[in-house]
Amino acid sequence: MSVIILFCLSFLLVEYISWHFKGEKVQKNTQIVICFLLLFIFFGFRDLPILNDTAHYYRHVRHLFSNTPFDNTPWYTFDSSSNFEEGFQIFLRIIGLVISKEPYSLIIITSLITTASLLWFLNKSTSHVAFAVFVLMTSTLLLGYYSAIRQSLAVSVSYIFYWCYKNKYYKSAIMCGVVAYFFHHSSVMLILPVALYHIPFTRRNILLTMATAIVVSLGIYKILPLLGYGDSKYLVTGMEREAVPLAQLLDTLFILACLLFYYIYGNKYKEEIEKDKLYVSFALSALIVNIWALPCLALFRFGMFFSQYAVVLFINSLYQAEADKRLKILKYTVVAILVLRILIVLIYRNGWFHLVPYSFFDFSLEHQKTLFGY
């Protein structure tokens, strides 16, 4: 457990070290390089029991690479009956054909892509990269990006979608949306922030949007069957729950707190909202889909496309608020709360992510155990 806490705190140390360099660009690049190394080593070489889906993907790829005659079929071949999206199947074939038939290569490559794309996104979004990684890690939002491998690839593409749409490269944005969809179908939800972007951001419209999200949440189990998801195992499991999942409630409250803080401290003038309107649309989408996920936990995956936008708005606002001497202690309060949160999760809810005990993958073992009861 101490390994995880020290890993989280290391990003605060990275920020402190970077302050000893002259020039904001040098400080930022220092944070990016060290954060990349820390994240890639920690997640790219994790053992199979770490994070819920690691062993499942390893087991699937091991079976695929052992039983697929790659040399006899084109690289773009996919199985339409598979539970995995076409783009991901092709991605696996490319790994097996070009890079390596070692099953663990998937974990290394996807961790590399996830880390690089996340830091590219943060580099374009904030000057406080290391602190952003700290918040994402301690809030546990970051863990989903490395665990849900197919969706993490779709999220990586979605960053380019955002950049293209923001700069009015609409054809390129559509292409990115299609590519993301073929890695994980949940990326269809990228339509949501685009729709919000074209709605005037008045207080009345935002309140109506949130009220609509709550109404949809209350009727989610009547709406999903109408969309063809009535027989989904996730829908059936969700209907059997008697209470709102604690993890989802905490995530929703965290996103709400981020947006409220941004509204109070980081957005004093209307022109700032207009300047960041698409970014804010993505952040608002995070709150909306988290509200939907309160009764139906499976929908929390939609939030992976948007939650980081809300976190960055919060962080940028936090550093703006620090200029007020009365709020100097605010950052330390946030750090304390987030460290306490992940500590509680590790002690009482380790089953959410299976981070403890942390270990690196042992490449010397000939037969890897992949069944851990989750």
Looking at the chain, the number of H-run helices and the number of E-run strands are: 18, 0
Domain count, the chain: 2
One domain, residues 303 and 345: no
**Shared-domain flag, residues 96 and 215:** no
- DSSP assignments along 30-65, one per residue: HHHHHHHHHHHHHHHTB-TTSSTTHHHHHHHHHHHH
Does residue 104 lie within any of the structural domains?
Answer: yes
pLDDT one-digit tens code per residue, 164-218:
999 999 999 999 999 999 999 999 999 999 999 999 888 899 999 999 999 999 8
Of residues 140 and 324, the one with the higher pLDDT is: 140
How many whole angstroms separate alpha carbon 14 and alpha carbon 344?
24
Position with higher pLDDT, 364 vs 163: 163
Give the type of residue at 59.
R
pLDDT in tens, 108-137: 999 999 999 999 999 999 999 999 999 999
DSSP per-residue codes, 317-337: HHHHHTTSGGGTHHHHHHHHH
Cα gap 330→332, rounded to integer Å: 5
Q: Is residue 25 part of a domain?
A: yes
22 lies in the same domain as 138: yes
pLDDT tens by residue, 227-273: 666 556 655 565 555 566 788 899 999 999 999 988 887 655 444 55
Q: Are residues 143 and 10 in the same domain?
A: yes
Provide the mean pLDDT of the chain.
88
131, 202: one domain: no
Domain that holds residue 119: 1-147+338-361
Helix (H) / strand (E) containing 147: helix 141-147
Q: Give the mean model confidence (pLDDT) for residues 11-20.
A: 94
Beta strands in the chain (DSSP E): none
Are residues 302 and 224 in contact, defined by beta-carbon separation less than 8 angstroms? Answer: no
The alpha-carbon radius of gyration of the chain (Å, integer) is 21
269 within some domain: yes
pLDDT digits (tens, 9 = 90+) for 29-59: 999 999 999 999 999 999 999 999 999 999 9
pLDDT tens digits, one per residue of 54-111: 999 999 999 888 877 766 777 777 777 788 899 999 999 999 888 988 999 999 999 9
